[in-house]
Structure 1
Amino acid sequence: MARGPKKHLKRVAAPKHWMLDKLTGVFAPRPSTGPHKLRECLPLIIFLRNRLKYALTGDEVKKICMQRFIKIDGKVRTDITYPAGFMDVISIEKTGEHFRLIYDVKGRFTVHRITAEEAKYKLCKVKKILIGTKGIPHLVTHDARTIRYPDPLIKVNDTVRIDLETGKITDFIKFDTGNLCMVTGGANLGRIGVITNRERHPGSFDVVHVKDSTGNSFATRLSNIFVIGKVRSGFVLVAVDRRVESEFGAMMITYGFDL
């Protein structure tokens, strides 16, 4: 007889991108239920202990979190197994540090430091648009946010920029050919490129063709594409706003885009 959700996760069954060694123990921290899936998230304990090295043990991570030093997307989180995911902003007030979770070229979450100004917003992919009770339009994002009364021009697969303090949409980027995107799933996880074509397959998965900075083309499912900016006449306008360039600038130079 089942007694609620599972509480354990064997270390060998944990996602590979957590980069846990096999010999340190039998178990891995099982992420709590939250806005990101188990295999697409990074628990807070792994970020603080294994990535930042701010703690040596799980107990030390618990002491840090229970002092309410850690914020994710502007909200204090005391759960050490809270599932942080793609584009989440992790803030440590005590040290004045801010991080955004994004993928590296090998599809692993990287420690990407950002400024306090950049930590005020995040980008979210629109997963669903629906009409709720009393005819109120709703929009659901990839991190399980529900936003009422969105701009009628925003459609599924577009990317919205959200002010973390108010939770309101301040800008959006359309899912169009010629725009810059990052792959968030599949064999090409972590790659950045320009959308060149979209193949529609009714009843199956739509396929998107992407061209990266070296001129190599690859294809992936539409559900794996996350639009992060606009490309016009060779210049990259990341996330509509020039201020975001400092955040993605190093990454774009790595991929060879001209800023």
Structure 2
Amino acid sequence: MAIMGSRKHLKRFKAPKHWPIHPKENKWTIKPNAGPHSIEGSLPLLLIVRDILGVADNAREAKRIINNGEILVDGKIRKDYKYPVGFMDVIEIPKSKYVFRVLPDEKGRLIIHPIAKENSNFKLCKIVDKTTINGGKTQLNLHDGRNCLVEDEYKVGDVIILKVPDQEVSERIVFEKGTIGLITGGKHIGEIGRIKEINITKSSMPNTVEMETEDKKTFLTLKDYVFVIGKEEPAITLPGGK
């Protein structure tokens, strides 16, 4: 029994700090299945339904709701209660007409941010790698584990606006000076700013970006931590009306 428990569950004190659980309440919690997001960068669907959204009082009720196909992630029904939901994913509960987008707060925790129904049919995806395949097309590898075929030129670090669930690219947000970025790691996680300078090094040192906030304060962060979300205005709504 102990072996099976370790495979299916996770000791609470080992759970990521951004999970909304108390480490001393019970010994075990839900362990996410392998999927598009890592354990550190995701929340199991059951925790979202029961502990964050509160649409279920207990694990059995949450599993029933999920198994009945009442929860959509990125426009698709997800019946796996251990499905890992992560950054920029869109959660929809058609029965209640609630829609949410997963974003980080300034403490590095993943939050479920309410959005309008008209914003539920797209998500932002960062290009983390790309390869050329047979026929000359380019395959984009995206931050959420997706692969997308395109014919136009895209760069690693750019962000695409992807329609879900059909995965059609509708727009590109170029990683460049003047673009608005959301910080996804480091001590400035969750902060919003405009790219003031991109510093590319020719050494083993990481590339950095100088960001400027709305109140004209500047800070330096790693290039990999900057997720561009718009040129003049953010393409998505943000917590606190940012």
Q: Please give the TM-score of this superposition, normalised by the length of structure 2.
A: 0.92
Does structure 2 retain, via aligned residues, the 8 Å contact 1:150–1:169? Answer: no
Q: Which amino acid in structure 2 is aligned with residue 143 of structure 1?
A: D
For 1:160-189, what per-residue CA distance to the aligned partner results, in whole angstroms no more than 9, with x for missing partners? 001114211000110011111001112221
Q: Match for residue 158 of structure 1? A: 158
Where in structure 2 are the equivalents of 1:36-185 lying within 5 Å? 36-152=37-153, 154-185=154-185
Residues 217, 6 of structure 1: alpha-carbon distance in 2 compared, 3 angstrom cutoff: farther
Q: Which amino acid in structure 2 is aligned with residue 151 of structure 1?
A: D
Quick one: percent identity of the two aligned structures? 34
Count residues in correspondence.
238
Residue 249 of structure 1: how far off its partner (Å):
7.9
Does structure 2 retain, via aligned residues, the 8 Å contact 1:186–1:220? Answer: yes
Kindly indicate whether residue 234 of structure 2 is the aligned counterpart of residue 238 of structure 1: yes
Question: C-alpha distance in 1, partners of 2:230/2:135?
Answer: 34
Kindly indicate whether residue 12 of structure 2 is the aligned counterpart of residue 16 of structure 1: no
Does structure 1 retain, via aligned residues, the 8 Å contact 2:76–2:165? Answer: no
Q: Which amino acid in structure 2 is aligned with residue 184 of structure 1?
A: T
Unaligned runs of 5+ residues in structure 1 are: 232-236, 253-259
Residue 37 of structure 1: how far off its partner (Å):
1.0
Q: Match for residue 35 of structure 1? A: 36
CA-atom RMSD in angstroms: 1.9
Question: C-alpha distance in 2, partners of 1:140/1:53?
Answer: 34
Residues 150, 142 of structure 1: alpha-carbon distance in 2 compared, 3 angstrom cutoff: farther
Residues 46, 193 of structure 1: alpha-carbon distance in 2 compared, 3 angstrom cutoff: same
Q: Which amino acid in structure 2 is aligned with residue 238 of structure 1?
A: P
Residues 71, 198 of structure 1: alpha-carbon distance in 2 compared, 3 angstrom cutoff: same
Residue 150 of structure 1: how far off its partner (Å):
4.0
Residue 114 of structure 1: how far off its partner (Å):
1.2
For 1:51-91, what per-residue CA distance to the aligned partner results, in whole angstroms no more than 9, with x for missing partners? 11111221111100110001100111011111111110001
Does structure 1 retain, via aligned residues, the 8 Å contact 2:113–2:238? Answer: no
Q: Match for residue 241 of structure 2? A: 251
Does structure 2 retain, via aligned residues, the 8 Å contact 1:139–1:150? Answer: no
For 1:109-144, what per-residue CA distance to the aligned partner results, in whole angstroms no more than 9, with x for missing partners? 222111221001111111111112343311111111
Residues 89, 50 of structure 1: alpha-carbon distance in 2 compared, 3 angstrom cutoff: same
Greater fraction helix: 1
